[in-house]
A and B are shown apart, each in its own frame.
Chain A
Amino acid sequence: MGLASVNTASEGMQLCIFDLRRGQQEGQELDKILFFFPADLPFATQLSVIGLSEGLITFTRIFSPDAACEVIEAERHSHVFYEAESDIWMVMVVDKSKESKAACQVDALRKVLKEVHSLFVLFHGTMRSMLEKETSGGLIRSHLYPFITDYLSDFLIGRKLQLPSFHDCLMERGTVQMLTVGREAAIEVQSLVKVLECSAGTTSCYSLVLFQDLLVSTTLSPDDTISLFTYAVLRLTPHALSSGATSWSYLQRTNAGSQVPALSTITNSGSVSDNIYRSRDASLDQENNCQVKRPLHHNRWFRGNDGFLASDIWGTDNGSQTSVTPIVYLQLTEERMYLCAYQHKSLTIILLVPVSSILNGEQGLSLVKQQVLENASLKMLMVEEKLSKGWGGENAYHVSGYRYLLVDDERVSRASPPAKVMTLAKESLLALSKLREEVNLEKKRAKCSSSEVNCDKELEICVRAKNGAWVIARTSRGKELYMVLEKASETLLYAADSVEKFSNRYCSGVFSLD
């Protein structure tokens, strides 16, 4: 039964991870494969996918030594490549359905690969370090399988994987969405952050403050912020905890109805694959298998009585009966941090405390938590109240007449609410999706051809599509604006004027001409 559902689910997609440094001898090719979804595909098929990928990586390096194969586009499939770590490649093979044939969002799919990799690194460290720790590959395989299948289950709608398509061209994966706060609230938040970080008693802790599914404040590096924000929105925020509620964040696409079968599918398939991998990796023993943690496992976080979020994913502490606090890795420093999350109504606060600064594990951490509650709970109440008052609701960032996506420095984005985007005609979305591809190419070209670090492309494209909609892209000073105006009048000047107005009002004039 489980197997059958996997097959249905994976019809449209294959995902593999392989290490080019492994299995270079004939007969050992299987050793390259670190992950393959669906796992029940015959090895010969798996190897053929990897063989083609590897062949093209080698081939393209003849001409493009610095940037090897990124995508193979065939009539019926797209192969999207991402070199996650040096010589470790992730390749996603997507079936082109009739609908999406016109516009396969290669860049969006690559961002999916990038996202799952950065989440994996957040909880497990780099794949390479894991491979170095345990050279047979058994350890990493046993970790990758449940991790990625848990991640993919978020894309399941019913029994089908809904990967990013042209419908999603007004959103940007791998960015954070910020809450706009008033001056007063900003000062409150600032002082809360100060208090929080002092509570831990060390100077090197970091915090992340979210309101609903939006980021309010961060003291982490941009990359770590994106990973942690992504995780929080997927599993920690109030929406994520009460999986019955519908979220308006693009990260949470699953609805309550689909989650249960999705989960069972994945769990079952997980055990199937475990068997497969176990038969291949004799070294991987039962004990090892039990230690595999599944940070993306659904419905495993809950709010404790003290307001802190807890999960049994990492097991329970033998002495105190409390659940074990997860540890995450920071990308730049590779520092190990305890992840403590506190929630009050819509406010979620994530505090990262260096493992090295806590001497006696969970006991030490509970002291820190206590400290936080004592020093900051009042401030948290106040901040939550202030933010709630200023919060305009789900459609807070809807601008009537416009369907837009605003990306700042490829890290922060704001967009029309998905429900509003859904009102657009398919033609408009297809046109924008195509336009975004063009812009991505121009951006890439600007990056490649310019030796300067700062090579922001200035670009303005306004297209009047066949259906009469205006589809617009602007890039300026590292900011990008994409827009669909369906009800605008016929003239280019009117459309340009609309962009100008929007720019002046919501982008502090970045895209204005004067």
Chain B
Amino acid sequence: MSSSDSSSSSASDDPNPKLKPQPLESQFQSSLTLEDSDGVARTDDASVAEQQQEQQDEGSGNGSVDGVVNVEDNGHRDSSDREEGIGSGEARDGDGGSGGGGGVVWRRANSEVELEVEAPASPSSSGYAGGRGSSGASSASRADDASEEDEIEVVGNDDGGAVGAPDSQAEWTPGKRHVDEDDASISWRKRKKHFFILSNSGKPIYSRYGDEHKLAGFSATLQAIISFVENGGDRVKYVKAGMHQVVFLVKGPIYLVCISCTEEPFESLVAQLELVYGQMILILTKSLNRCFEKNPKFDMTPLLGGTDVVFSALIHSFSWNPAAFLHAYACLPLPYATRQAAGAILQDVADSGVLFALLMCKHRVGTSLKVISLVGAQKASLHPDDMLLLGNFIMSSESFRQVTSESFSPICLPRYNPMAFLHAYVHYFDADTYLILLTTRSDAFYHLKDCRIRIETVLLKSNVLSEVQRSTLDGGMRVEDLSVDLQQHTGSTSRVEDKPHTETPERIRESSLVGLGGPAGLWHFLYRSVYLDQYVSSEFSSPINTHRQQKRLYRAYQKLYVSMHSKGIGPHKTQFRRDENYVLLCWVTPDFELYAAFDPLADKALAIKTCNKVCQWVKDVENEIFLLGASPFSW
């Protein structure tokens, strides 16, 4: 394991990245099956993989419409693919993931979970986004069963009392769990949220819980339901039974199913299935449809081998990342000038043949990725969903996360062009901050490397990286800082202005007439700028300070979002909703959407006033919390 670490971290020093098997992506595993067909894969897979290879190339051809691809690239890339494929082949053969070779990164990330008992002191135990969490790999995996992500329905499970600190997400371990389960296991049946991907012939492709192979029968049942309804000239959307919902999504030859008793509305679940599908497209492109056209019994699992961790991280994010239902992205709060400086150098790079340049960071423990700056080449625009999927792919893949290493990997942006691969150059400046450069050219590694060096130099010179670190430490908007008297706040968030933090506790006391948090019982808010496709979310404050409570609040927001945007009649203008947990207020205008959570005993009139103040506050600091004037985004 450590050998793979060292090899990947040394990638940046390698003079010849073409020969370097470092960033292994599953796309290559298609070429792996090609190389390996006598060993691992069946012959028909090999031929299909071959076809896919061609299609991928065609796909890149499509990409040329938008970008700059020259024909030679394909051949060039092919050879590199093959070489890398060999590497991954070794990894796969080294069953159990202990295999050496530089190419095991994928496999390793996955096996870390599977072998958690044998290898508790994995060098990369910091694991997923919650790397800062105090728990090491072994304790994390033990906490696993208690972690509510795997929650089995138990009465009262939903309610507070969670021991978890605010950073309890750190307990979440990436990768697949409970592989020993199948549809006959009681525990499997009681999992709160299942996700399945299967082919239209009923072959299992992915299951969140349990072993896909053991679920073949179950998968066939799902397929039978879908095709039965289809034969009647109709298309099944969902089935409800008690608190359970079975949601179906058909995407050509791919069927996606979610079985959930989480009370999320159908619209949310189907949107999540869309994202899961998008994640698959990001890894493989839509050209995989042709494999199914050629051979309906095509087995896709080898192509996705090792990507379990990507899907499970995505599914995990559905319960805490508002980007998943808001279809917007968040920015790291930064002084305007700092962001301008970052934007300028990215723009510089974009003008030199880079399709998209994104400077991102993980903001605080376990929370979603945040954008520092991003820039697209002329007329190219990046959909927030693509950013979510790209961010998830990169953050959940251990191979990218080696600080100072550089990776070059084909990916597809499903909203941008689902048929074509782009090439992503990824580099971590530090544990949290990373750069993604996307290009249509597969031979652009050196160019992108040069771009990165230029960017890094500028970022260091203009102190952007240190500002970023400071911002991640300081956090974003706090409801406590929304003073009753707004005057003193105009122009800046208190954080950016270096307001002494000692002031905050006093404010909490002042405003704690109703519960804790901000004035008038304000606990939390989400503000989505419609034109910018961006949102800002306040930091969690008391009493929303356990993971469980945060997740419940997200679910409540998610429900509110669906209710406000209900199909055919929406969007509604305002909504006030009081139940035993919160007062929720939502306000949708053509410019923005505000979602705010208050103490359930909050006064209506005061809550409305407070919402107005929040909007004013956001407007006052918008050039620090949002990325403004990114012209390619005006679409």
Contacts and interface: CB of A to CB of B under 8 A. Distances in A.
Nearest to B218: A62
Contacts of B568: 101-103, 430
Contacts of A431: 566, 569, 572
Given A52-B228, A55-B225, A457-B579, A69 B241 contact: yes
A445 interface: yes
B604 A465 contact: no
Interface in A77-128: 77, 101-103
B163 interface: no
Contacts of B263: 441, 445
Contacts of B232: 48, 52
Contacts of A55: 224-225, 228
B575 A464 contact: yes
A75 interface: yes
Given A102-B569, A492-B576, A74 B236 contact: yes
Interface in B239-294: 239-244, 246, 259, 261, 263, 266
A492 B586 CA distance: 11
Contacts, number: 145
Contacts of B559: 438
B577 A460 contact: yes
Contact of A460 (B225, B235, B570, B578): B578
Interface residues on A, range: 35 or more
Interface string B590-622: 000000000000001100100000000000000
A43 interface: no
A69 B240 contact: yes
Contacts of B225: 55-56, 59
Contacts of B246: 59-60, 63
A466 B579 contact: no
Contacts of B575: 461-464
A460 B155 contact: no
B237 interface: yes
A4 interface: no
B247 to A, nearest CB: 10
Contacts of A449: 155, 158
Contacts of B576: 460-463, 492, 496
A453 interface: no
B450 to A, nearest CB: 52
A335 interface: no
B241 A492 contact: no
Nearest to B246: A60
B240 A465 contact: no
Contacts of B221: 59
B605 A493 contact: yes
Contacts of B417: none
Contacts of A66: 242
Given A75-B234, A465-B573, A67 B241 contact: yes
A59 B577 CA distance: 35
Interface residues on B, range: 35 or more
Nearest to A461: B577
A431 B229 CA distance: 29
B298 interface: no
Contacts of B579: 442, 457-460
Given A74-B235, A457-B579, A463-B574, A430 B569 contact: yes
A471 B297 CA distance: 51
Nearest to B228: A52
Nearest to A57: B241
Nearest to B584: A461
B573 A438 contact: no
Given A52-B228, A60-B244, A69-B240, A466 B573 contact: yes
B234 A463 contact: no
Contacts of B240: 69-71, 73
Contact of A76 (B189, B233, B239, B266): B233
- Residue from B228, B563, B569 having most chain A Cβ neighbours under 10 A: B569
B238 interface: yes
Contacts of B238: 72-73
Interface in A463-514: 463-466, 468, 492-493, 496
Contacts of B566: 431, 434
A493 B604 CA distance: 7
A11 interface: no
Nearest to A434: B566
A55 B241 CA distance: 13
Given A60-B242, A69-B240, A462-B576, 4 more contacts: A59-B221, A60-B239, A67-B242, A496-B576
25 contacts: A52-B232, A60-B242, A60-B246, A64-B241, A64-B244, A67-B241, A67-B243, A74-B234, A74-B235, A75-B234, A76-B234, A101-B568, A102-B568, A430-B568, A444-B243, A449-B158, A457-B579, A458-B579, A459-B578, A461-B577, A463-B576, A465-B569, A466-B571, A468-B573, A492-B608
Interface of B: 155, 158, 183, 189, 221, 224-225, 228-229, 232-244, 246, 259, 261, 263, 266, 559, 563, 566-580, 604-605, 608
